[in-house]
Structure 1
Amino acid sequence: MEPPITIQVTQRKTTAILRRFPYSSRMATARPTTVLVVDDHALIRSALVSVLNATDDLRVVCEASNGADAVELAHKHSPSVVVLDVDMPGVDAFHAASHILQLRPHTAIMFLTATDSDRAIEQALKVGALGFIVKSDDPDAIPGAIRAIARGEQYFSPRAAERVRGDTSAIRKRKITGTRGTAISEREIEVLRYVGKGYAKKQIAEMLGISVKTVDKHVTSVMEKLDIHDRVELALYAVREGFITA
Structure 2
Amino acid sequence: MRIIVVEDQNLVLDSLVNLISGELDFEVVKALTDASFVDAACEKLRPDVVLMDVCTENGSSGLKAAVRLHRDFPDIKVIIMTGLPDLSFIDEAREAGVFSFIYKNLNARDLIAVLRQAEKNYSTWPTKPTMPILGYNELSEREVEVLRFYCRGMSRQDIAEHYGLSENTVKGYVRSILSKTGYDSIAKLTMYALANGYITPHGSGPPGEKATDG
- Distance (Å, rounded) in 1 between the aligned partners of 2:212 and 2:173: 17
Count of residues in correspondence between the two structures:
170
Contact 1:75/1:100 (<8 A) preserved? no
Deviation at 1:52, TM superposition (A): 0.6
> Which position in structure 2 is the counterpart of 1:39?
7
In structure 1, distance between residues paired with 2:48 and 2:212? 27
Once the two structures are superposed, the pairs formed by residues 1-246 of structure 1 within 5 Å of their partners are 33-88=1-56, 89-156=58-125, 160-161=126-127, 163=128, 177-178=139-140, 183-184=141-142, 219-220=162-163, 241-242=199-200, 243-245=211-213
Write the letter of the residue equivalent to 1:87.
Answer: C
Shift of 1:121: 1.1
The runs of 5 or more residues in structure 1 that have no matched partner are 1-32, 167-173, 198-218, 228-235
Letter in 2 for 1:220: Y
SS in 1 for 2:108: coil
Q: Give the Cα–Cα distance (whole angstroms) in 2 for the partners of residues 151 and 104 of structure 1.
A: 18
Q: Summarize the Cα distance change of 1:220–1:39 in structure 2 as closer, same or farther, 3 Å threshold.
A: same
Distance in 1, matches of 2:108 and 2:102, equals 10
C-alpha displacement at 1:245, in angstroms? Answer: 4.7
Q: Which amino acid aligns with 1:119?
A: S
SS of corresponding position for 2:59: coil
TM-score normalized by structure 1? Answer: 0.56
- SS at structure 2 position matched to 1:241: coil
- Once residues 173 and 108 of structure 2 are traced to their aligned partners in structure 1, the CA distance between those partners, rounded to angstroms, is 39
1 CA distance for matches of 2:64 and 2:27?
25
Unmatched tracts of structure 2, length 5 or more: 131-135, 153-161, 175-190, 201-210
Structure with the larger RCO, 1 or 2 (CA within 8 Å, 6+ apart):
2
With the length of structure 2 as denominator, give the TM-score of the two structures.
Answer: 0.64
Judge conservation of contact 1:75–1:103 (CA < 8 Å) in 2. Answer: no
Give the whole-Å Cα distance in 1 for the aligned partners of 2:27 and 2:6.
Answer: 14
Q: Tell me, in whole angstroms, the C-alpha distance in 2 between the residues paired with 1:176 and 1:128.
A: 25
Q: For 2:98, what is the secondary structure of its paired residue?
A: coil
* Counterpart for residue 133 of structure 2: none
Identity %: 18
Are the equivalent residues in 2 in contact too, given 1:68–1:90 (CA < 8 A)?
no
Question: What is the CA-CA distance between 1:221 and the residue it aligns to?
Answer: 6.6
C-alpha deviation, 1:117, in angstroms = 2.9
The separation in 2 between residues aligned to 1:36 and 1:56, in whole angstroms, is 16
